[in-house]
Amino acid sequence: MNKTFRATAICLGILLALFLKPVSAEVPQVKIRVAQYEKTLEFVMPDGGTWVSGKKSGKIQPGKLYRIDGTIKAKALRRYHLMVGSAGINKPELLNAIEKKFEAFKTHRFQAGALPSLGYPDNRIVFVGVGIFENETQACEQQNKLATDNISSWVFIENIKLATGHIKLTTGKQTLINSTSGIQLVANKFTTLKKAEFAKGYSWHGFEDRHFAEKLTINWGAEDLLDCVEHTDLEKLIIGIVPSEISAKAPPAALQAQAVAARGEMLSKKGVRHLNEGYDFCSEQHCQVYKGIQATDKAIAASIRCTRGQLMQNHEGGILDAVYGANCGGHSSANHSIWTSNPDPHLQGVSDCITQSEIDLTDEKTAANFVLSPPACWCSTANVEGADKFRWKKVLNSADWHKVEAAAAIGRIKEIGSFIREVSGRIISMKITGENGEKTILKELPIRQLLGGLRSSFFTVIWQRDPSGFITGAEFSGAGWGHGVGMCQTGAQSMALAGHKFNTILAHYYPGAKLKKLY
């Protein structure tokens, strides 16, 4: 063998070895919107740091109070798509089937996501829509018309252009920079954002000082507000998400299951959520709750370290969107019944009963009995955080009911019924009959929002009526808290207390999915 041939053979061997060697993915960098302010915010860096805007920069003095004031120049530009289906970019046959189903409409496609990084599955998705509108009101009007024909849809917001304006950084009477390109804050240890708003639209809405250790950028965003965006890596983010989403006092196996689920949900949606908004995720319930640096971080990091890079892999080798909820109420839900999505074989709902066999909760009488006389379930175990949400009651008085009538907008309500329940017992369709017409409400979240903000749509109800037969109030008896799809966080804690490992917990709530280490 001559030297040239030998060298060529060696090079080919190396290339072949590299080709055959499994590609190891790297920890992804992520951007998460951690706070929004209307036009003014204040912050402190206890150990100091720097600010940067374009080519200019300066020092942030330790412990000193700084202020950012924004003046908007041009509002954000958005369009509203009414979507009726979606599929992965690699599933043209499914997309064609969706379009054929809605061939009576003029359909269009919208692609979300980006080319995957090395070692990651392709999570790009294509939405199929039946209309594009200049404002949300028009889109919602068409959505209501489709619901009357029992067609489920959702409004997707396309962000065309972010808002623009000035941002001024000051301390005391001193102006440090007046920028049109945003300001980046880099702390030596962490930045404290004063009075950060959280849980907007929920009963636990409030404001609190929150601490963030990574880089923060502040600029005008897609909602005409000042967006504060943290730049970090996914593993650091997961440490903060776990105690924000589940009790920091949960058993280690439950914390580990939560970490795996959260990691998979984030990675399955990265590049698809908050498209063209300047960040990957928000720190609220819409994505996953994240409160920044917490006192429990070191303990959480030690507890979940064994799960680093692990997630749930679906039957097609992709990343499972491992969604989860607070308390399933005794049975988890099917994803396509709760949302307008394609059925996922790993998210079709499982019984959370400890001993009882499968039960048909789509039957009205059976569902009512299950709510009022439940068997022992993992999510009903006493002294576990969230077990108090297993069963609940809520009463709507006449004042509350007037709000329901105003939201329904069909006059005084004579009847609410024609319930359709999915596998978990949650109501996903109901008809309202009023003095000015009828309306069909689809999907569990709009149903519980309309009926006074119920914990779930798995309920039985006694209506209060006036002498004319119109409804004037209601007494709800319900089960669970949240949508119910995927892992039940209360049940996971109970299973962990009973000695089950995190992989067993995940296998229970995501049947058929496999645990995989991505990096």
Q: pLDDT tens digits, residue range 132-187? A: 999 999 999 999 999 999 999 999 999 999 999 999 999 999 999 999 999 999 99
pLDDT higher than 50, residue 5: no
- pLDDT band for position 22 (50/70/90)? very low
Residue with tokens 């319900």: 478
Phi, psi of 71 (to 5 degrees): -125, 115
pLDDT at 357: 74
Domain with CATH 3.30.70 in the chain: 77-161
Selection from 483, 480, 420, 427 nearest residue 451 by Cα: 427
pLDDT higher than 60, residue 389: yes
Q: What is the three-class DSSP state of 277? A: coil
- pLDDT band for position 16 (50/70/90)? very low
Spatial distance between the Cα atoms of 404 and 31, rounded to a whole number of angstroms:
38
pLDDT higher than 80, residue 12: no
pLDDT higher than 70, residue 7: no
For 77-161, the fitting CATH number among 3.30.1380, 1.10.3470, 3.30.70, 3.30.1330 is 3.30.70
pLDDT at 24: 64
Contacts within 8 Å (CB) and 24+ apart, 268-271: 268/123, 268/318, 268/319, 268/320, 268/321, 268/322, 269/123, 269/321, 270/28, 270/30, 270/123, 271/112, 271/113, 271/114, 271/123, 271/124
The mean predicted confidence, pLDDT, of the chain is: 94
300 token code pair:
């959480």
Spatial distance between the Cα atoms of 402 and 341, rounded to a whole number of angstroms:
33
Residue with tokens 């000042």: 226
Q: State the average pLDDT over residues 216-240.
A: 97
122 token code pair:
């392709």
Spatial distance between the Cα atoms of 418 and 404, rounded to a whole number of angstroms:
18
Element of type H or E holding 99: helix 92-101
Q: pLDDT tens digits, residue range 185-215? A: 999 999 999 999 999 988 899 999 999 998 9
- Positive or negative, the CA dihedral 242, 243, 244, 245 is positive
Q: pLDDT tens digits, residue range 282-304? A: 999 999 999 999 999 999 999 99
Q: Are 184 and 51 in contact (CB under 8 A)?
A: yes
pLDDT higher than 90, residue 14: no
- Measured in whole angstroms, how far is the alpha carbon of residue 113 from the centre of its chain? 16
- pLDDT band for position 118 (50/70/90)? confident
pLDDT at 409: 95
Q: pLDDT tens digits, residue range 397-443? A: 999 999 999 999 999 999 999 999 999 999 999 999 999 999 999 99
HEC profile of 237-272? HHHHHHHHHCCCCCCHHHHHHHHHHHHHHHHHHCCC
Q: What is the DSSP letter of 189?
A: S
pLDDT at 15: 34
pLDDT at 20: 37
Spatial distance between the Cα atoms of 336 and 347, rounded to a whole number of angstroms:
9
- Measured in whole angstroms, how far is the alpha carbon of residue 117 from the centre of its chain? 22
Q: What is the three-class DSSP state of 371? A: helix
Spatial distance between the Cα atoms of 439 and 213, rounded to a whole number of angstroms:
49
Q: pLDDT tens digits, residue range 328-369? A: 999 999 999 999 999 999 999 999 999 877 899 999 999 999
pLDDT at 356: 74
